[in-house]
Structure 1
Amino acid sequence: MKMCFLIPSVASGGIEIYLLRFLRFLKDASEITVIVRNSDKGELYHEYLETGVHLKFLPLGYVNPLKIWRHYHYYKQQKFDVICDFNANFAGIPMFLGSILNIPKRISFYRQGTNHFQPGLIRNWVNRLMKWLVYRNATNILSNSQAALEFFFHDRSINDHRFEVLYNGFNFQDFEIVESKSEIRRELNIPVDSFVIGHIGRYDKAKNHEAILKVFQEIIREGLNCTLVLCGRDTEKLIPALKELGLEDKAIILGYRNDVPFVLKGLDCFLFPSITEGQPNALIEAMISGIPIVSSNIPSIKECVPKQVEKFLSTPSDTESHVRAILNIVNNVEDFKIPVEHLRMFESEVNFGLFKRILYGK
């Protein structure tokens, strides 16, 4: 069965990491093509190649006739049986092309909590058109959270069985790190005796790094001996802000790393005040690692944490509540423990197994 996935890039984003994990779960990806909708080689380029997929850089844009024609010609030439696009409403064009080419299975997989563009008259019109094309032409419309599905298709019919929520999948064995917390801190040049607050995520407005720095500044003022660890693509861009706040000596910028479970084990607390998420990979990884979390209370996050932890969530900009929660962790970490049974909802065998059955019709 010839299968095609479309992703925005091969940089270290949530979509790209999800698909990479799924390809590794499949083990044999020789009949799979991954189309990258831009022309840049990101951090995950070589890891994608190692899975055995055919990697094709084929920019699409939004309403570019020449690029649309190139996609049409490529799909027709390859004779795909399945096409799956992870670009939210902007899967509309591939879904439409797949329909007129009679590709049997056309899947649009929504993996973001809101639209990722600044609203405007033309952009809003194009967005509505793309969403309509998805709705009219997709055989399956998936999402990684109920919250995301409600945002994009709140008016869907309950009898429309194309809609389905598939949670992110994680191999729990990846989080069995043999090194001790002290050994990890020494390797990463983190003070061994410090209370370490960490965040993992690319430098992006949605990740709310501004709030992270404000919270950390207030924690320092409380007199706590602590260190801030920031891990993710382009996080070095935060260095000027750290210097301006006088926090550069208390913060460690790791940049992009492909050993997130290793980094997580070196933390005492995971701070995650995101403004928007589809389903938060990094937050779930922290929970699997057993790290106490302090997070925003947006719907997609509330959906993936246990009820007993919800009371510690607060609005993304509520610095005071985040500070109070971190101080509570210092004094009583047991209140923030995540039950192991709750985490089973994110096991790769279950969630990737469901996705595989949808793709292959088994």
Structure 2
Amino acid sequence: MQQKKKILYIITKSVWGGAQKYVYDLAVNLPKDKFDVIVAGGQAEGPKKGIMELELGRNKVVFYKIKSFQRDVNILKEFIAGFEILFILFKTKPNIVHVSSSKAGGVAGVASLLYKLLTFRKLKTIFTIHGWAFLESRPKWQIVLIKLFSWITCLFYDKIITVSEYGRQIGIENKIVSLRKAIPIHNGINIGNLNYIDKEESRAELVERFQYFKNPSLQAGAKPKLESKTEIWIGTTGELTKNKGHQYFIDAVKKLKDKGIEFKTIIIGAGEEKEERLKQIKNNKLENDVFLAGFIFNASKYLKALDIFVFPSIKEGFPYTILEAGLAELPIISTITGGIPEQIENDKDGILVESANSEKLAEAIERLINNKNLREKYAKKFNQKVLEKFSLDKQIEETIKIYS
């Protein structure tokens, strides 16, 4: 009987996001007769605190906290985190270390190398790149340093997984990773595990949520004017960060409102840009048109409340949210960034527009609001594509080949 392999997954933060979902899906769904799984990650903060650890625990996956991991750069904390990881390596004795997120990549890479040197044990090391940090809008000197750090980080690993072919090509073109080492594996979703609430019920629940908590962009005591049955609803899910491009989405909504087009906008997510977005909503007098729902765990179950899904992101890898919206049979408008063109083919199963361009985004939204047949066509075609091409089973099958 073949001995089971022990895998240690490492991630910087255990908040619930795309990278965390990636780790969770692999950790919980790998064949239990072939793999023993352990997860280690930094402590979570904010409304999503503890969700990943809790969900892993429910599935009997051991979770180790790396107390010194944090998002901001702190050399001392990262030095201590390296020793925390080294301790976990000695305690768990894994056959494979699989790391996600940039900061974890560097620190865990060094710790894994030390572990191999100190124990003479074989240890396969894998690093998943969800998106290259040097593609963000930054000063030139920062981009140079990030590229150097990324190149050094990749040296510690036997294989680099990119979640898109685009990510792989960017890594090769910038001489950060070799052709031999980089392997693209698309994210997939657990098709049988997504339970959507139907349109009428999900709208009713969201309306009740807004009435109970009050839309924070409204004046104190005001009631949101949100009709749950007849209006067109458009919306998105995602963290309120600059990279998600919500500022351009709200600008696009303002342009359409100025033209007298009636619809409501729902944004599900929390994050550091919340106050800025609230200010933007108020300054544009959109308090009764744009609703911030805050963080909702398993927000995908409410997607059928929408008529159109809009994804305005500036920087992405291969977003799960688009796949979830496709499985919910929604027509999708997205920006062209990262691996998204490997998901959606423009004017075939969705609409793609350039990022950071509220004018183009508004034009695409208006086009779909005014054309129900086109909405239905895109929704049906992309739903079929998700079912055929982007399953979690396929992702796991391709990942296991790298573990072998």
Which category of TM-score, normalised to the shorter sequence, fits these structures?
A: 0.7 to 0.9
What is the letter of the counterpart of residue 101 of structure 2?
A: N
Find the counterpart in structure 1 of residue 57 from structure 2: 49
* Structure 1 position 303 matched with structure 2 position 331: no
* Superposed displacement of residue 274, structure 1: 0.8
The secondary structure found in structure 2 opposite 1:169 is: coil
SS state of the match for residue 247, structure 1?
Answer: coil
Aligned to 1:34, the other structure's residue is in SS state strand
Give 1:264's aligned residue.
303
Contact in 1 for aligned 2:81/2:107 (Cα 8 Å) = no
| Aligned match of 2:206 | 188
CA change 1:341–1:34 in 2 (3 A) is same
Aligned to 1:222: 259
Matches within 5 A, 1:159-178: 160-175=179-194, 177=196
| Deviation larger for 54-63 or 293-302 | 54-63
What CA deviation, in whole Å up to 9, does each residue of 1:216-268 have, x standing for no partner?
11222222221110101237533332122211122222211123332110001
Residues 261-284 of structure 1 show CA distances to partners (whole Å, capped at 9, x for unaligned) of: 321100011111111001122122
Secondary structure of 1:44's partner? helix
Alpha-carbon distance between aligned partners in 1 of 2:396 and 2:126, rounded to the nearest angstrom: 15
Contact 2:188 2:320 in 1 (8 A): no
Q: Does 1:211 align with 2:230?
A: no
Measured after TM superposition, the shift of residue 207 of structure 1 is 0.4
Question: For each residue in 1:293-352, what CA deviation from the matched residue of structure 2 results, as whole angstroms up to 9, or x when unmatched?
Answer: 111122421121125348832222222222221121122233351424422221111112
1:114 and 1:276 in contact (8 A); partners too: no
Which of 55, 70, 84 pairs up with 1:70? 84
After TM superposition, list the pairs within 5 Å mapping 1:84-99 onto structure 2: 84-88=98-102, 91-99=105-113
Aligned length: 358
1:322 maps to 361
Q: Which runs of 5+ in 2 are unaligned?
A: 117-121, 208-225
- Displacement of 1:130 after TM fit? 3.6
| Residue ranges of structure 1 left out of the alignment (5+ in a row) | none
Cross-structure match for 1:3: 7
2:294 is the alignment partner of 1:255: yes
Summarize the Cα distance change of 1:184–1:141 in structure 2 as closer, same or farther, 3 Å threshold.
same
Which residue of structure 1 aligns with residue 39 of structure 2?
A: 34
Q: 51-60 or 29-38, which moves further after superposition? A: 29-38
Task: Give me the TM-score of the superposition, normalised by structure 2.
Answer: 0.79
Note if contact 2:8-2:40 (Cα within 8 Å) is conserved in structure 1: yes
After superposition, what is the alpha-carbon deviation per residue over 1:113-163, rounded to whole angstroms, capped at 9, x for unaligned?
Answer: 4336955757844x3454343333311110101122223332559984332
Task: Check the 8 A contact 2:7/2:94 in 1, yes or no.
Answer: yes
User: Is 1:242 equivalent to 2:281 in the alignment?
Assistant: yes
> In 1, are the aligned partners of 2:251 and 2:358 still within 8 Å (CA)?
yes
Cα distance, 1:200 vs structure 2: 0.3
Match of 1:333 in 2: 372
- Residues 1:291 and 1:63: Cα distance change in structure 2 (over 3 Å): same
**TM-score, structure 1 normalization:** 0.88
